[in-house]
Amino acid sequence: MPRLLLIGILVCSALCSVAQHRLWYTRPATIWEEALPIGNGHLGAMIYGGDLEEEIQFNEETLWTGEPRSYDQPGAYRYLDSIRTLLDKGKQREAEALAMEHFMGQKSISEDNTAWLSAIGKERANTSGAASSMFDDKAWKNISVPAYEGWEEVGLEGLDGAVWFRTTFTLTAEDLKSAWVLDLNKVREQDFTYINGHLVGHTIGDQEKRNYEIPKRLLQEGKNTVAVQVINLAGKGGIAGYKDTKQQIGLRNDGGRLISLVGQWKYWIQDANVPKVGTYQASYQPFGSLRLMFPEGETEAYTRTLDLDRGTATVNYQQNGVHFSRTYIANYPDNAIAIRLSADQPNQVSFRLTLDSKHANRRIFRVDDQTLAITVKVKGGVLEATSFVTVNTKGGKIFEREGFLHIEGANQAEVLVTGATNFKNFKELEPNYFVTAQRHHSKVRSMSFKRLMVRHEEDYRKLFGRFDIQLGETAADSLPTDERLHHFLSNEDPALVALYVQYGRYLQIASSRKSTQPANLQGIWNHQLEPSWGSKYTTNINLEMNYWPTEMFSLNELHAPLFQMIQDLSETGRKTAQEYYRARGWVLHHNTDIWRGTAPINNSNHGIWPTGGAWLVTHLWEHYRYNQDPKFIQQYYNIIKGATLFFKDVLVKDDKTGWYVSSPSNSPENGGLVKGPTMDHQIIRALFRIFVASADLVGKDKSLRDSIGNMIPAIAPNQIGKYGQLQEWMTDIDDPENKHRHVSHLWGLHPGNEINADDTPELVDAAKQSLRMRGDDGTGWSLAWKINFWARLHDAAHTYKMIKMLLRPAGKAGGSYPNLFDAHPPFQIDGNFGGAAGIGEMLLQSHASYIDVLPALPEELGTGSVTGFRARGGFDCSFQWDQQQLKTLQIRSNAGKELRLRYQNKTIKLPTQKGKVYLFDSKLNLIK
């Protein structure tokens, strides 16, 4: 009877999931964060779903800035001991200054800009030029000022150079009696600011405030002119103003009156031909957009849907009695994006189609009457890319004219998109990529949409269909997704929590597949030439968080791109270990990119963090723990050993305590350059334990294994501070008012496992106190990490509180955009993956001594079921609960290991046979 009951549960689960596994909306997207993502690991696209004009913005995984090069600073090791000595003496600022000068990575080549700066300065010297109050700027265009995220956000994307801005303000005779200050706050990155033709201020640096006192003699009754020359050599540009838009730029007098200058200004691009500026690392780039224009019509009954069960996006609406439908897929087996357009009446499918790109160096060309192509070259880099789009029709006619494909009176149309770049690997380019891309497109264009769909669904469902989660239903299930987010603020919607988990799984399938790059900071989706943080790989949590849900949610193959990256990084990291530390093995600091840079970047106060590679190694071990395949460890053993050898060489003895410590380093990205951050020691202990177990598993390096084993207890331990908190550093200096987004010193709680209730209950209490001190709020990914923390602490109510915060509508702090993308803000996909994993941690944990069932289940999720949840030790788990109580539990043993189960206060240990299924009741009694 129990077995039949479980089968019934699974059938119901499968039927119910169809309705729940979708995002849907009643209008087209108007901004990128409302568009719907599709992807196959190689190609990603965002579907806006317009009824009159459609945009499909697309990316190719290997289109980045930069080029193959060494990121290492030759001879940096010569300064290592001096930096350590300064830190030992408490001279942090001096250590950071020395490290900034000699211990950071190399930037790419910069060109001499002296002549260019002199040339653009001539306009400032022109008394009747752009700075003059008499200058006629009527021919200039308008732009919105300020733009905190840069002029890229308001129409000047991809622009670097010198740009003039002008506006006016009016003063009365009474106003002239006051003293006035012009407040522009921040400018990206250099300004020359004029009032009525006279220079009142010049500042360099995008973090410097612009508060310029205006001499009274320069002001006049009536109209006055502000002119600003902004010089931006790289990155975001413009008059930034304040992040909080309630604070306005403008003129303030000594009486507190504000004359706002927020609004439309005139602008003129003086010179955009900027000499090259070196960068530490590369940035992920958008490719282009496919644009479809449809005949005018009155739209009714519009819906836009992302079906997670099928991996498809759809748009449906009616116009003039005709029902129009569009279906979008990103097919992995054939590496193509395909779109089918249809109508329920004959000869009604008509539209124009073209390709576009933000890259200045682009060429759109006709291949034949059914095919267009676009080639783009990345600014200041070596990569180029080509995309082909072919339209096949049933009925009607098709022809090319002036860069557009015209489709008229068809019964159905199928749009097929492919794309490729000249990237071969992190060391070399592919010179003949165009020919290969042509050949690939020729194969795809011969396939029908139906065939591509069949192959897509067969491939996709093998992955997505392994796991299901049901958390109950409410009336909110029928709401559009954007409305559900707002509804969830004050109402319960357990099915939305389940949807978030499945959406995270969908996004990983769409952005991380065999032979692709790993999911980056935005997965595989990006629409900006200057994406935040380069949309690259931040390895002090964000890259790792992307792969937290992979194993638990039955997507273990999707770890493969990360493992290949680790292999690449172990190669480049060997050189960095030599140049910076004269150490064996390999090292990775806090960031990397497609060219696999491993040296410290950005700033010495956070960029010198040597444990990125060690953290990545834990993913290799976690994969083994879930899958129990010794051959996997054999394959990656030398990488594990290399990471271990690095820290064997680099750890130093602290004179005061005698402990082994990591120096120099930092606690990401908080507190500056230090000796001995807690997070480092937690990760290094985990790495050393992994090496000892791996060496034992493969039967190698006994003497090294024993030596490393002896070092583990000598590494600086976790310490409890004066507030009862887990110390973030070796010294007890934690500030209870510090609300920093990183809570790095709790790594040992999650994703590590050395802090757990079975072995270290006192550290569990200290970790909880650290979380209380840090506070709940944070950026999106920070909220996601805290969900995992509180779940590991078995605090169900607090875990659920954090889920509610992650699933609130995006604002100034973290939350979720209408398309459920995680908001840092801006969008970072790590919050989606980390949040999904955190929900999983509420339901099942297997990191410590036992598989814990429902360890942090809140009452709001009191009824539900899960199938296909994987646990460490090689177990597949399916279970159901009601009124917060376990009902049934089914476990399949994939490796024949001992099963150790815990539910509430009951534990069992059971030897298992490989391939056998075990069924338990609500008290963990073995039924079969």
Mean pLDDT of the region 923-927: 95
What total number of domains does the chain contain? 5
Q: What sign has the CA pseudo-torsion 561, 563, 566, 567?
A: negative
237: which 2 tokens?
């540009």
Mean local confidence (pLDDT), 256-271: 96
Residues 689 and 584 in one domain: yes
What are the distances in angstroms from CA 280 to CA 65, 284, 533?
11, 14, 11
Q: At what angle do helices 796-806 and 780-792 cross, to 10 degrees?
A: 170
Residue 763 CA to residue 357 CA, distance in Å, equals: 53
User: In this structure, are strands 263-271 and 258-260 parallel, antiparallel, or unpaired?
Assistant: unpaired
For the stretch 92-95, contacts whose Cβ atoms lie closer than 8 Å and that sit 24 or more positions apart, written own/partner, are: 92/672, 92/673, 92/674, 95/604, 95/664, 95/673
235 and 319 both lie in a single domain: no
Give the tokens for residue 755: 């802090």
Compute the average pLDDT of residues 156-164: 94
Q: Provide the CATH number for the domain around residue 438.
A: 2.70.98.50
When pLDDT is cut at 50, 70 and 90, the band that residue 812 belongs to is confident
pTM: 0.94
Of 271, 303, 334, which residue is a domain's last?
A: 271
Q: At what angle do helices 92-102 and 80-88 cross, to 10 degrees?
A: 170
Same domain for 56 and 99, yes or no, is no
Residue 403: left if φ>0, alpha if ψ -120 to 50, beta else—which one? Answer: left
Average pLDDT over residues 287-303: 97
Last residue of a domain, one of 463, 498, 519: 463
Helix (H, G, I), strand (E, B) or coil at 628: coil
- Is 791 among the domain residues? no
Report the b/e string of 563-577 with b at 16+ CB within 10 A.
bbbbebbbebbbbbb
Residue 569 has pLDDT above 90, yes or no: yes
pLDDT at 874 over 80: yes
Report yes or no on 521 lying in a domain.
Answer: no
Tokens encoding 341 = 């357009």
Domain with 578, as residue range(s), is 82-109+538-717
Is residue 299 located within the same domain as residue 167? no
Q: Is the pLDDT of residue 884 over 70?
A: yes
Residue 811 scores a pLDDT above 90 = no
Amino acid, single-letter form, for residue 394: K
- Same domain, yes or no, for 258 and 290? no
Contact 306, 46 (CB under 8 A): no
CA gap 687, 693 in Å, rounded: 10
Last residue of a domain, one of 271, 291, 322: 271
Residue 12 has pLDDT above 80, yes or no: no
Considering the domain architecture, whether residues 345 and 305 belong to the same structural domain is answered as yes
What average pLDDT does the segment 489-506 reach? 97
Mean pLDDT, range 431-440, rounded to an integer: 97
pLDDT at 9: 38
Residue 642 lies in a domain: yes
Of all residues in the chain, what percent carry a pLDDT higher than 90? 95
Q: Which whole number is the average pLDDT over 197-217?
A: 96
Mean pLDDT of 676-689: 98
Is the model's pLDDT at 880 over the cut of 80?
Answer: yes
Residues 650 and 549 reside in one and the same domain? yes
796 belongs to a structural domain: no
- Residues in the chain, total: 928
CA–CA distance, 458 with 454 (Å, rounded to integer): 6
Say if CB 235 and CB 201 are below 8 A apart.
no
Residue 14 has pLDDT above 90, yes or no: no
Identify the CATH number of the domain in which residue 210 sits. Answer: 2.60.120.260
pLDDT of 486 > 80? The answer is yes
DSSP 422: S
Token duo for residue 832: 């989606």
Tokens representing 911 are 């030897």
In a domain, 265, yes or no: yes
Taking 50 as the threshold, does the pLDDT of residue 15 lie above it? no
Q: How far apart are CA 558 and CA 870, in angstroms?
A: 14
Residues 851 and 727 in one domain: no
CATH code: domain of residue 857: 2.60.40.1180
pLDDT at 4: 35
Is 735 among the domain residues? yes
Pair (624, 737) in one structural domain: no
Radius of gyration of the chain (CA): 29
Q: Of 487, 505, 479, 475, give the one whose Cα is nearest residue 25.
A: 479
**Cα separation of 383 and 800, whole Å?**
45
**793 in a structural domain:** no
CA-CA distance, 507 to 719, in Å (whole number)? 38
Tell me the CB-side half-sphere exposure of residue 324, using CA atoms within 13 A: 26
Q: What is the reported pLDDT for 474?
A: 86
H or E element, residue 361:
strand 361-368
Report the C-alpha gap between 912 and 892 in whole angstroms.
9
The reply to whether 790 falls in a domain is no
Query: Is pLDDT at 7 greater than 60 in this prediction?
Result: no
Residue 18: is its pLDDT beyond 90?
no
Distance (Å, whole) CA 91 – CA 106: 25
The one-letter amino acid code at 452 reads: L
DSSP string, 101-154: HHSSPPPPP----HHHHHHHHHHHH-TTSTTSTT---TTSEEEEE--TT-GGGG
Domain match, 245 and 125 both: yes
| In a shared domain, residues 685 and 618 | yes
Please check the confidence at residue 374 and state whether its pLDDT lies above 60.
yes
Residues 727 and 699 occupy one common structural domain: no
Residue carrying the six token digits 């087209």: 28
pLDDT value of residue 20: 67
Span 38-44, average pLDDT: 98
Whole-number pLDDT of residue 556? 98
Q: What is the mean pLDDT of the chain?
A: 96
At 676, which CATH number? 1.50.10.10
Over residues 766-770, the mean pLDDT reads: 98
Q: Is the pLDDT of residue 5 over 80?
A: no
Percent of the residues in the chain that have a pLDDT greater than 70, as a whole number: 98
